[in-house]
Amino acid sequence: MSSRTNTVLTIAGLSLCGIVAYAVYFDYKRRTDVEFRKRIRKENKRVNKSVAQSKEALAAANSISEADLHEALKQMKSEPVPTTQAERENYFMSQVAMGEQLAARGEPFHLPAALSFYRALSVYPSTAELLDIYQKTVPEPVVKLILALVKLELAAKIGAYYEVFPPKSTNVALQSRPSTSDTSGPEKVLVLTKDIAAGEVIYKEHPMLTCLDYDLQLAGTYCSHCLREIQPSLGSLTLLSSSGDKSTFCSKPCQVASKSQWFTLLFTLDPPLPAVAALSQLAPTPAALEVRRTTQLQMLAYLNKDNRVGTLLMAKFIARQLTAANGKAPGQDVGDFTQADGGEYQIEDHVERWSSHSVEPPAEEYPLVVALLRATLPGLEAFISPESHKSLLGKIAFNAFGVCFGGGRDDRPEATLRPEDAELTRTPYGTSRQVGTALYSVSAYLSHSCAPNARPSFASGTSELQVIATKDLKKGDELSIAYVDVSQRAGESTTECRQRRRKELARGWKFACPCSRCVQEAPEK
């Protein structure tokens, strides 16, 4: 595979769910809006004039080094960026037009042309989609330069991510595991950045996504967003899906967050994104709405049949990426309980860095996901391939935490799936005692030990996770928690306890636990 294809695939993977509505919007304006087309013509004239004067263009050399590209990127970063939707549109159109004009002027103008196209790319929501268009329409040497710029910026972004993540306030840092012949362990682990005493809270973390257990969702006894137990005396709020199913919320912020992040998009017939709502001309026909309602019903029936939390979390993840980019102006507070999106990095930036563990979902699942996305917004389905579907499900399955209050509940219905297919979540109390499932950006990196030095707690009575030291710890110590119930139960021998937990770890997380306790308790050969 050529490096060029590689780069495009990387980008395509990164922007798995590029924002189609935005693209639809541009395309729609281009085709229907006279003013918009006039503006493009005016831009072309302006471009012609500026090209004639362009010292930058004339200075462009034949051979462009990586240092030149670095310098060009650096200069670009110091330019003002458009902020409003209208400014971004203008900027996008003028940069594409400028790029086209420059590219047509031959080799000395290739770098300035690539920079113009690259500027347009920086305000376009779907990198993969626009790169694809460039590949079909822009001269090859210019495309090569655009891809080189993308690659450079990507490398800088990857490096920058680990400089700010995990946040310093968590008292932990991510460290690569020393390479050994044993490749089964996690690639990265969390280590302490300061000494912590036994019993101290090391850090607290809100989830990126949650899913209330299905029986509690039906009963309406817990908040479908933060998983808090509903106190009837304090009242509650609800949301109704297109199928008439009710979700209950403990507060307005929880209701609003769920509604804007995923509920509207996945389970109602309302415009899925604000950008689409603004385009009244693109209103769906009654027949299209009926298809949307039917696909939602089919998906709900599939999810509810076996309480498929992983699939619902995946759908919420896709929805959340779309709604975060479209619904939120920078810095705008949408009353998001989870606070997981913020700063420069959002949910997809975290998840894309998790290692991939492919799982094999039932054959009927992928067509259902595709049908639902297509019925929600035509074109959305292009952003999930059979491979990315499996990989996303795998990431969720390997990183999901079980939320348990106190020691957990004892009335959770038995799983309907075969034991080998049942979804397991990380919790020292056992998945059978949880009220729901949650995904966390920092805690996803906690590794397992049967003699852990930390434990998860949900002391606030919500899905906010606290990680608490179970012994005195030193700066540099690797943090571990128990993914499963590692306590020796009444009537269980040491060997039986060892066997039980190792079986669960192998089934759920596909590794043979190498911890000191497992080694110590191993039966003599």
Ligand X SMILES: C[S@+](CC[C@H](N)C(=O)[O-])C[C@H]1O[C@@H](n2cnc3c(N)ncnc32)[C@H](O)[C@@H]1O
C-alpha–C-alpha distance, residues 254 and 236, integer Å: 10
Contacts (CB under 6 A) with ligand X, residues 73-112: none
Using CA atoms, how far residue 515 sits from 431, 467, 481, 497, 521, in Å, is 21, 20, 12, 14, 10
Contacts (CB under 6 A) with ligand X, residues 47-66: none
511 sits near ligand X (criterion: CB under 6 A)? yes
Per-position b or e across 179-214, b if 16+ CB within 10 A of its CB: eeeeeeebebbbbbeeebeeeeebbbbbbbbbbbbb
Report, in Å, the least distance between residue 486 CB and ligand X: 12
Contacts (CB under 6 A) with ligand X, residues 295-324: none
Residue 167 CB partners (closer than 8 Å, separation 6+): 442
Select the residue interacting with ligand X from 445, 484, 497, 504 (CB under 6 A): 445
Residue closest to 342 by CA, chosen among 188, 167, 172, 463: 167
C-alpha–C-alpha distance, residues 55 and 94, integer Å: 19
What residues does 457 pair with on adjacent strands? 466
Report, in Å, the least distance between residue 460 CB and ligand X: 23
Report, in Å, the least distance between residue 447 CB and ligand X: 3
Stretch that binds ligand X, among 33-41, 148-156, 405-413, 510-518 (CB under 6 A): 510-518
Q: Are strands 237-240 and 188-192 parallel, antiparallel or unpaired?
A: unpaired
Select the residue interacting with ligand X from 13, 82, 141, 185 (CB under 6 A): 185
184 sits near ligand X (criterion: CB under 6 A)? yes
What is the DSSP code string of 159-185?
Answer: HHHHHHSS-GGGSEEEEEPPP-S---S
Report, in Å, the least distance between residue 167 CB and ligand X: 16
Stretch that binds ligand X, among 131-139, 165-173, 367-375, 441-449 (CB under 6 A): 441-449
Report, in Å, the least distance between residue 312 CB and ligand X: 19
- Taking the CA atoms of residue 179, residue 181, residue 186 and residue 189 in that order, the dihedral angle to the nearest 10 degrees is -40
455 sits near ligand X (criterion: CB under 6 A)? no
DSSP structure class, residue 466? E
Contacts (CB under 6 A) with ligand X, residues 325-364: 354-355
- Residue closer to ligand X by CB (options 125, 186) is 186
Stretch that binds ligand X, among 82-90, 173-181, 315-323, 445-453 (CB under 6 A): 445-453
Select the residue interacting with ligand X from 447, 453, 462, 463 (CB under 6 A): 447
- Residue closer to ligand X by CB (options 292, 502) is 502
C-alpha–C-alpha distance, residues 141 and 144, integer Å: 5
Helix or strand holding residue 160 (H, E): helix 140-164
- Residue closer to ligand X by CB (options 137, 516) is 516
The count of residues interacting with ligand X (CB under 6 A) is: 20
Closest residue to ligand X using C-beta atoms: 354
Residue closest to 442 by CA, chosen among 410, 500, 481: 481
- Residue closer to ligand X by CB (options 251, 391) is 391
- Residue closer to ligand X by CB (options 81, 519) is 519
Stretch that binds ligand X, among 233-241, 260-268, 446-454, 516-524 (CB under 6 A): 446-454
Burial class (CB in 10 A: 0-12, 13-18, 19+), 500: middle
Q: Is the peptide bond before 514 cis (omega within 30 degrees of 0)?
A: no
186 sits near ligand X (criterion: CB under 6 A)? yes
List, in sequence order, the alpha helices (H) in 283-329.
286-305, 309-327
- Residue closer to ligand X by CB (options 45, 510) is 510
Report, in Å, the least distance between residue 186 CB and ligand X: 3
Report, in Å, the least distance between residue 469 CB and ligand X: 18
- Residue closer to ligand X by CB (options 266, 518) is 518
Confirm if 497 and 488 have CB atoms less than 8 A apart.
yes
Please count the other Cβ atoms lying within 10 Å of the Cβ belonging to residue 87.
Answer: 13
Select the residue interacting with ligand X from 510, 519, 520, 522 (CB under 6 A): 510
- Biggest CA–CA distance in the chain, Å, is 87
- Residue closer to ligand X by CB (options 238, 355) is 355
For the chain, first and last CA: distance in Å? 49
C-alpha–C-alpha distance, residues 234 and 231, integer Å: 5
- Residue closer to ligand X by CB (options 354, 401) is 354
Residue closest to 350 by CA, chosen among 150, 87, 203, 174: 174
Report, in Å, the least distance between residue 150 CB and ligand X: 24
Confirm if 416 and 302 have CB atoms less than 8 A apart.
no
Select the residue interacting with ligand X from 137, 514, 516, 519 (CB under 6 A): 514
Tell me the CB-side half-sphere exposure of residue 372, using CA atoms within 13 A.
27
Stretch that binds ligand X, among 179-187, 212-220, 362-370, 485-493 (CB under 6 A): 179-187
165 sits near ligand X (criterion: CB under 6 A)? no
Contacts (CB under 6 A) with ligand X, residues 398-417: 398-399
- Residue closer to ligand X by CB (options 72, 481) is 481
Report, in Å, the least distance between residue 357 CB and ligand X: 7
Summarize as ranges the residues that interact with ligand X (CB under 6 A): 184-187, 354-355, 398-399, 444-449, 509-511, 513-515
